[in-house]
Structure 1
Amino acid sequence: MIVAVLNSKGGVGKTTTALNLAIGRALEGRRVLAVDGDRQGSLLAAIAQREGRTPAIASAQYTDGQVLRQQVGLAKSVYDDIVIDAGGRDNSCLRAAMLLADLVVIPFVPRAYDVWALEDMQELLAEGRCVKDIDAACFLTMADPRGADNQEAASQIPAGMRALAVMVGRRKAIAESAGQGMSMLEQPGRDGKAAAELGALVAAVFH
């Protein structure tokens, strides 16, 4: 399965999401390729931190949309799952990943600017759907522990995107683990709630 973690707005947790999806599937015994389509190379750097750890996850970086399309097309016969992080802007990699994916996953933060930015993704999806049918699903990340902002943001998801019935909170442990190239799924005793949220995300995306 090819999953593209996309949002034309930065700072919404795309790389952390992609990393956790890749690790989650690798923990299930799947052969996983993590593809970094962002010039910053954050996902590639995170995977590099895993050297010597199991499960091992293959990684690659393609910052040109045509190259990404060609290389992922070749890789899909080798790997069970491919997770693509295309960065936080409308560019050739984002558009290529959108058309390659079996599922586009769109993380967003429960803030007005982030909800409004979903309209940009709605337009990009509409353009892509002129070429192929695209399954796109949103979920709240860095969600608030309390208050009405989460529910209000979730209620404003634009047409053309379905909502995943999961929510990942704003948790220090998730960010710290990602910085070490790890997932809370590998160390559930550190923060059980965070591990449960990420496990639910992996299940919602792949199962």
Structure 2
Amino acid sequence: MSIVAVLNTKGGVGKTTTALNLAVGRALQGRNVLAVDADRQGSLLAALSNRGEREPCIAVAQYVEGQALRQQVLRAAALYDDIVIDAGGRDNTALRAALLLADKVIIPFLPRSFDIWSLDDMSALLVEARAIKHVDAYALLTMSDARGTDNEAAGQAVPDDMQLLPTTVGRRKAFADAGGAGLSVLELPAHRDSKAMAETQALLAAIFN
């Protein structure tokens, strides 16, 4: 059983898209998955609600206060193979609770200065969390550029207390198109965007293998 939290104190970095593709991707692999939306905006809850009766079925719940998040996730842990938590956009009780609940923390960030700076905020929160328990933290470069040196420069700026994942996620329309319907890009027809599908498979392998 694993609990993966997708976190960042900065919004707009692809947290919900990442969480959705991880949750659905694991369900497609035959795992019993609970997706937890810990953001008041409720984007993950809304997206997965749009799946309707589509298989695989993804259980989803929303807890935006840290105490409720912690209590409910701990209760659910025995019922699911994997729990994926989407939290953040700001430093709040839900983000801090998710940080302590997770076996692995995924921190999406863009190859832009403001986003790279936000990793320092997460680094400070990791220091506090690690005073309580061991936390594995991984930085994930999202909406990466197809060319140029920004991706490499961003990767070099990742703080030493988190690992840079070996795979990146590009800025691809397929992610937005799929996410709006509560789908992973893995559920789209293969001709839609094979690169997006390959990136998602690589991300699943990097995190869960």
Unaligned 5+ segments in structure 1 are: none
> Which residue of 2 is the match for residue 130 of structure 1?
131
Matched residues in 1 for 2:88 and 2:138: separation?
A: 17
Q: Which amino acid aligns with 1:191?
A: D
Matched residues in 2 for 1:83 and 1:94: separation?
A: 13
Partner SS state of residue 133, structure 2: coil
194, 197, 203: which one aligns with 1:195: 197
Q: Could you tell me how far 1:49 is from its partner in structure 2?
A: 0.5
> Which residue of 2 is the match for residue 154 of structure 1?
155
Partner SS state of residue 6, structure 1: strand
> Which residue of 1 is the match for residue 180 of structure 2?
179
Matched residues in 2 for 1:75 and 1:149: separation?
A: 40
> Which residue of 2 is the match for residue 204 of structure 1?
206
Aligned pairs (5 A) from 1:42-191: 42-187=43-188, 188-191=190-193
**Count of aligned residue pairs for this structure pair:** 207
Partner SS state of residue 59, structure 1: strand
- Root-mean-square deviation (CA, aligned residues, Å) is 0.6
Partner SS state of residue 54, structure 1: coil
Unaligned 5+ segments in structure 2 are: none
Q: Could you tell me how far 1:87 is from its partner in structure 2?
A: 2.6
Q: Could you tell me how far 1:101 is from its partner in structure 2?
A: 0.2
> Which residue of 2 is the match for residue 39 of structure 1?
40
The TM-score with structure 2 as length reference comes to: 0.98
Q: Which amino acid aligns with 1:194?
A: A
User: Percent same amino acid among aligned pairs?
Assistant: 63
Q: Greater shift after overlay, 97-106 or 175-184?
A: 175-184
What per-residue deviation string (whole Å, max 9, x for no partner) do you get for residues 159-181 of structure 1? 11011100000001111111111
Q: Greater shift after overlay, 21-30 or 172-181?
A: 172-181
Partner SS state of residue 164, structure 2: strand
